[in-house]
Each structure stands twice: as structure tokens, then as C-alpha cells.
Amino acid sequence: MSRKGELFAGLTVALVTPFKDGKVDEAGLRRLVDFQIEAGTDCVSPVGTTGESPTLTHDEHERVISVVCEQAAGRIKVMAGTGSNSTAEAVRLTRAARKAGATGALMVTPYYNKPTQEGFYQHYRAVAEAVDLPIVLYNIPGRTAKNMEPETICRLAELPTIVAIKESTGSMDQASQVLNGSDLTLLSGDDSLTLPLMSLGGSGVVSVVGNIVPQDVKAMIAAWNSGDVREAQSRHHRLFPLCRDLLGLATNPIPIKAAMRELGRDAGDVRLPLTPLTDSELQKLRASLRDYGLL
């Protein structure tokens, strides 16, 4: 089956939002974009979960998208985070992303207010009808408190501007149902599951670990796409412990920001209510980075 949204196939890196003196570090953000361009990354995704979007002000959120699009300057795709549990706010953010020049919008399912499946459908439909920009659905019930069911996702796939989904349920059955019942491009939302999801027909990943080792993630994807299953598996197993620790030691993006600091690419602290790693957690992270050969 040919799939719409293949423009987002490959490696998308979920960018951290760098802070300095309590404010968004715009110069640091531009360096992050350039780092990914130099690494050959296919797309960057600002102001998602990894970008700490819940603690950004509305002005900061729009400014981060604008800075990333400006720095990208057509050299790399931009999948801007524009989701909200308010449909009106999601429309506003998506319009701002389109105006800034984003390639597409990454829209998390409405969180906290737990809409019905019909509510999910009408939310995305309203944004799709209001803004002419490719939309990537983002289903992560572990954070939003409610799953968007495969039947709803497949129904949304009938809307022309909804082109892909970031699959973060951890369920191979759900991913299979979406791939079976729609022509959406499916992207892994969990670095540890990228290769398993690609074996089902997924097309890539929106990656956290790509903030520090984008070439390695891209090489795993390329190996799979070229039919070199053994090489893809070898790369998966090398990446797995690092991916596990970056998402398991503490809530994302606490560990990835700590890792970047350890590697001399300080992006500042996380904002409250997130807190830095404890000393014991930091020691475990350092061991993981050493084992991988980064320290």
C-alpha cells in the first residue's frame, strides 16, 4: 500500500528546548537545528514532549517554532508541535506554524479532559479544516490519559491533510490495526520500538536519542530499508540500552538534557515541575553513555 505522509519517513528528531537564565536560549536552539542538518537528519520536531511544550508560554511556543523554521531555511523539514487540549488553541498554534513555514504539524491528542472517540475525531477535523497544513497525529495515552482507538485513527485518515501518526501506545496490535486499516505513514514514538514497528510497515521514528546520536538512528533505519536485516538488528541492540535509559531513568526530557550536558552540549535545566536527575540517576546515565562509547 502506498502511504500518504511519506515526506515524514525516516528520522525526525524531537528537539529539546534549550533554556538559559530561565528563558528560551534562541542561539542554542539554532545550534541544535544546525547540528541535525549536519548529521543528515530528515526532519526536526520542536515543542513536542521532549521540547517541554507544557511549560512554555504561548508566546514562547510560537517563537520556538518560528526560530526553528527560520534556521532550517528549507534545509531540513520541520514538524512543529501544535497540539492542545483546547481545539481553538490547537487551531491557533497550527496556523502560527504554517505562517512560520513548518512542513507539518505534530498534534498530540487532547489531554486531561479525556474526550470521547467522537470528540477526538471532531477535534482533529476542526483543525484540518481550519488550516491547510499536513498533520501528524500523536497518540500517547500514557501521558494524555486516554487512547485514541484504531477505528478513530483510521476514520481520521480519510481527511486529506491528516497524513501520518506518531505511534506511542507501545502496542504492536494497535500499530498493526492502524497500518491495516489506513494509508497513514506510521512513525515510532519510542526509540526502543523503532525497528519492531518498521518490521510491521512503519516508516521511521520521532526520536529522543537522535538528539545525541542521530547518525546511528539513521543508519539503523537505512539498514532496514536496504534489506540488511542483520545490520539493522545489530544497530537496534546497540542502541537499545541507551534508549532505555534515556526514557527510563526519569521522565523525558530530564535524562536527554542531562546527557547533552555530559557531552558538552548543555541545553540548560528542565523547567518545573520537572526536576534534574538525582546523583544516583546521573551515575547510571554516565555509565550508559560510557558503555555506548560516548564518554
Domains for the chain: give ranges and CATH numbers: 6-226 (3.20.20.70)
| Structural contact between residues 46 and 64, judged by C-beta atoms closer than 8 angstroms | yes
Q: Which of 121, 138, 146, 257 is catalytic?
A: 138
Average pLDDT of the segment spanning 239-268: 96
Residue 3 pLDDT level (bands cut at 50, 70, 90): confident
Sign of CA dihedral 189, 192, 184, 156: negative
Q: Per-residue pLDDT for 1 more than 70?
A: no
**In sequence order, what are the residues at sequence separation of 6 or more whose Cβ sits closer than 8 angstroms to the Cβ of residue 226?**
none
In sequence order, the β-bridge partners of residue 211 are none
The three grid cell numbers given for residue 187, joined into one nine-digit string = 512513525
Average pLDDT, the chain: 97
pLDDT digits (tens, 9 = 90+) for 139-148: 999 999 999 9
Q: What pLDDT shows up at residue 38?
A: 98
Q: Which of 166, 218, 257, 292 is catalytic?
A: 166
For position 78, what pLDDT does the model report?
Answer: 98
> Is position 166 annotated as part of the catalytic site?
yes
pLDDT at 4 (0 to 100) = 84
3-state secondary structure of 46: coil
Number of H helices and E strands in the chain, helices first, is: 12, 10
Share above pLDDT 70 across residues of the chain, in percent, rounded to a whole number: 100
Average pLDDT over every residue of 273-284 = 97
Q: What is the DSSP string of 147-160?
A: ---HHHHHHHTTST
Cis before 273 (ω within 30): yes
To the query of whether residue 218 is one of the catalytic residues in this protein, the response is no
Distance of CA 220 to CAs 171, 187, 237, Å? 21, 14, 10
Q: At what angle do helices 229-248 and 254-262 cross, to 10 degrees?
A: 100
Report the distance separating Cα 254 and Cα 45, nearest Å: 17
C-beta separation of 55 from 32 below 8 A: no
The pTM of the full predicted model, rounded to 2 decimals, is: 0.97
Radius of gyration, CA atoms only, the chain = 18
